[in-house]
Amino acid sequence: MKFSKFVIPFIAVGIFLIIPLILSSPFILQLFVLIFLYALVCESWDLSMGYLGLFNFGHLAFLGIGAYFSGILSLYYGLPSWIAIVVGSLITFALGFVLSLSTLRAGEYAFSIISFAFQNMFLYWVRSGGGPAPGEWGKKGLTLTGGTQGLGALIPVPSLQLGPITISSEFKVPAYYFTLIILVIATYAMYKLTNSRFGIATIALRDSKEYAIALGVNPLTYTAVFISISTFFAGLAGGLYAHIMGVVSPEIIGWSNVIIMCCIVEFGGLGTLFGPAAASFLLVSLTQYLAGLAAYKNIVIALIMLFTLLVWPTGMAGAAFWFKSKYLEKIKKAIFNWKHS
């Protein structure tokens, strides 16, 4: 593993570390928190869609499961926020494993269709309220998920408390640095996963399934574990979202958000991790800028998706690689010749 692979990520992290010292606008810091959380979700989705070649339509359902379950455990049952986030993430891991293990037996197409149904079922359950809230909360007329208003709309989801530090939307700087740290750690963990023996063996199933099976790779178990790891990180992002924002609405797992995040993964570059992270910065900023123009926002996202699929299917990561191979070496050689002329 060459150090040069990490030069740009190190520079990017260094820039992000000093942004709160330069830009103190609450809106900007809140925007970056959203960007970091979206990047985490899209990177985790890239594990299944990019590295495995499986389109998991229900990936954002796991974002919602992590958000709602951690919020419910913390709000209604008094569980500490950080424990609720861990439990919610583990629930998404277990559900991801069970769903993938039970559906992949029927084939990859069946997995995509069933994940589509799972997304719709969970979205319907959330919007319907999920039944009355437990104990005194139910007597006050509250539902488990908050229905269309969202969990925490009437009573906010408790903030994430780490010792004396409160991580919430009210305290922008701690929330900014905390989500950045989580994103960096999660990205490194996913990078190590994709480059481990287990990761390489699982990815080999995408490129040559018969050859991988001949080498002793169990396609069902390896793929199910790989997908469950991706759903774990989606659930982690959901739990962080719930406790930082204080509210979880069905919109975060709605189909408009599914399309936006799918566009981020495609535009960034499938099977790259760093590509979706970079695309999150651009497209989340763009969608927030166009928030008041919903019709135009959808048109712009559609045009970006069409451009990526038809003109540059390898995305931003592919464009960067193309530029490096075509021009960067020439630039380096020109600089070297200039210095020694």
User: Which of left, alpha, beta for 168 (phi over 0: left; psi -120 to 50: alpha)?
Assistant: beta
Band (pLDDT 50/70/90 cuts) for residue 336 is: low
pLDDT tens figures, 298-328: 777 778 778 777 777 777 776 677 666 666 6
Please state, in angstroms and rounded to a whole number, the distance separating the CA atoms of residues 31 and 285: 7
Is residue 134 helix, strand or coil?
Answer: coil
pLDDT tens figures, 11-35: 888 888 898 888 878 888 999 999 9
CB 239 within 8 A of CB 249: no
> What mean pLDDT is predicted for residues 99-116?
86
Please state, in angstroms and rounded to a whole number, the distance separating the CA atoms of residues 37 and 161: 18
pLDDT at 153: 76
CB 248 within 8 A of CB 68: yes
- φ, ψ (nearest 5 deg) of residue 154: -95, -45
Please state, in angstroms and rounded to a whole number, the distance separating the CA atoms of residues 166 and 156: 14
Residue type (1 letter), 86: V
Please state, in angstroms and rounded to a whole number, the distance separating the CA atoms of residues 185 and 175: 15
Q: Label residues 167-178 b or e (16+ Cβ within 10 Å = b).
A: bbbeebebbbbb
148 secondary structure, DSSP code:
T
Residue 283 has pLDDT above 50, yes or no: yes
Is residue 167 helix, strand or coil?
Answer: strand
Is residue 132 helix, strand or coil?
Answer: strand
pTM confidence score = 0.88
The residue behind tokens 């010749």 is: 337
Q: Label residues 257-270 b or e (16+ Cβ within 10 Å = b).
A: bbebbbbbbbbbbb
CB 43 within 8 A of CB 278: no
Which residue from 101, 127, 103, 128 is spatially nearest to 115, judged by alpha carbons?
103
CB 119 within 8 A of CB 61: yes
pLDDT at 64: 93
Report strand pairing: 165-167 vs 160-162. Answer: antiparallel
Highest average pLDDT, of 9-23, 115-129, 137-151, 270-284, comes from: 115-129
> Residue 260: CB partners within 8 Å, gap ≥ 6?
283, 287, 301
pLDDT at 338: 67
pLDDT tens figures, 167-226: 887 888 889 999 999 999 999 999 999 999 988 888 888 888 888 888 888 888 889 999
Band (pLDDT 50/70/90 cuts) for residue 329 is: low
CB 154 within 8 A of CB 146: yes
Residue 78 has pLDDT above 60, yes or no: yes
Please state, in angstroms and rounded to a whole number, the distance separating the CA atoms of residues 218 and 120: 30
